[in-house]
Amino acid sequence: MRWPVSEITRLARNWTPPPRRSVYFWRVKPYVHSTEPEAKMLNWQTLSTLVNAEDPFVLVTVGRVSGSSPRETGAKMLIQSHRTLGTIGGGNLEFFAQTHARELLATAPDNQLSEYTTSLVPKFDQCCGGVVQLIFEKVHPASSTWLNQLQYVIQQNAQAWLKSDLIRGERSLITATEERPSYAENQEEISFQDVTVPQWHALQHQLIEPIQSTALPIFLFGAGHVGRALLNQLQWLDADITCIDSRAEQQPALRADNVQYRITDDWASIIEHAPDHAYFLVMTHSHELDYRLTQAILEKGRFAYFGLIGSRTKKVRFERQLKQHSLSDTTLARMTCPIGLPQITGKSPEVIAASVTAQLLQVQSEHTQTAKSAAFEQDAHATFLNQTP
């Protein structure tokens, strides 16, 4: 059963890309700075906070993708009457999606899915050349069952997936949890599925997305020049950032939803309670404190990344002292010092911050690829066992 021709198809057929602008357009029309706040990262956590919003919004999700495309399956953009969060890759495709989303805000029924599949060339004049499916939903927070359940799942850190059924035109939450959570009166319960539901499942009429936090848990010790420059870079990432410094006067003026400041000397407790996949950055005002933090982090041993600001000479000196505390060469090799990509040699706070941010993303990508490879091998092994007579 194919999705019936609808207003979205009519709009796409009649839509033409905006005219190309001259490279000198800025000389003719001065840029007007927007008074709207900068958009933050659109993720599951952000979506869950909209459950108490009064006005509806349109959620655009990239569904099935064939060939090259600006964004991957699952990428999202949220359109409200006064702002847009996230992106599906920019260009004419995104311009079309925003235009249609605003029509949906004015005319579409609440909480009903529609989809549009298109090639990027020639219709949208984007040289990626792939085929992209866009899934639209006008979400009304007060009546959206899956959005209300999403808030619970995020709060409980439960394993769950969001299922988009394009034949029925609806979304639902599925989970592998055995115990049914309790919800508000008259609210539907999550439907329960076997734990073998795949992490990603994208077909023409169905999309299943894993609901899991992809935010990097970053712990930054030291709010000096480099620390503040780093916060300016990291705030735009999908990250939960904790900045720790004992000096109240060093607290940066930056205010971002994903940045938390801790003015404390109790750094040992913060390290101990950090998640096992934490990213530690040490750049305090004191070499003695840097050393004590380094020792505590390496003795903990459970982290995704540990970077220490300083020279190779500082690293050698710290390693010599740490070996006296029975830390092995294997453990010491997990310390990154100097921090940042070695190809970038600048020493200004802004250059170091850009280099370290790139390194963190590189490490995250390596860990993601390793996890995907492990999951593939596990699935292949399970398939082999199921086929063995």
| Stronger pLDDT, 194 or 130, i.e. the higher one | 130
pLDDT score for 28: 36
What beta strand segments (E) does the chain contain?
Answer: 57-66, 76-79, 84-86, 113-119, 131-139, 160-165, 170-175, 191-192, 201-203, 206-211, 216-221, 239-245, 259-263, 279-282, 305-308, 335-336
Please indicate whether residue 177 or residue 151 has the higher confidence score (pLDDT): 151
Q: Please state, rounded to an integer, the average pLDDT across all residues of the chain.
A: 81
249 has a pLDDT exceeding 70: yes
Say which DSSP state 129 is in.
Answer: -
Q: Which residues contact 26 (CB under 8 A, 6 or more apart)?
A: none
Pseudo-torsion of CA 252, 255, 258, 259, nearest 10°?
A: 20
pLDDT of 176 reads 67
Residues 6 or more apart from 121 whose CB is under 8 A from it? Answer: 127, 128, 129
67-71, 107-111, 259-263: which range is least confident on average? 67-71
Confidence of residue 290 (pLDDT cuts 50, 70, 90): very high
Domains by residue range for the chain, with CATH: 7-18+25-211 (no CATH), 216-365 (3.40.50.720)
pLDDT bucket at 269, cuts 50 / 70 / 90? very high
To the nearest 10°, report the CA torsion of 174, 180, 185, 191.
30
Q: How confident is the model at residue 389 (pLDDT cuts 50, 70, 90)?
A: very low
Query: Which pLDDT score is estimated for 45?
Result: 86
Listing DSSP states for 178-237 in one string gives SSPPP-STTPPPPEE--TT--S-EEETTEEEEEE----EEEEEE--SHHHHHHHHHHTTS
In this structure, what are the phi and psi dihedrals at residue 79, rounded to the nearest 5 degrees? Answer: -120, 120
Q: What percent of the chain has pLDDT over 90?
A: 52
Q: How far apart are CA 202 and CA 358, in angstroms?
A: 30
Name which of 10-19, 101-110, 168-177, 268-277 the model is least confident about: 10-19
Say if residue 122's pLDDT is above 90.
Answer: no
pLDDT band at residue 7 using 50, 70 and 90 as cut-offs:
low
Instruction: Render pLDDT for 173-221 as a digit per residue (tens, 0 to 9).
Output: 987 654 444 444 334 444 434 434 455 566 778 899 888 777 899 999 9
Single pTM value for the model: 0.69
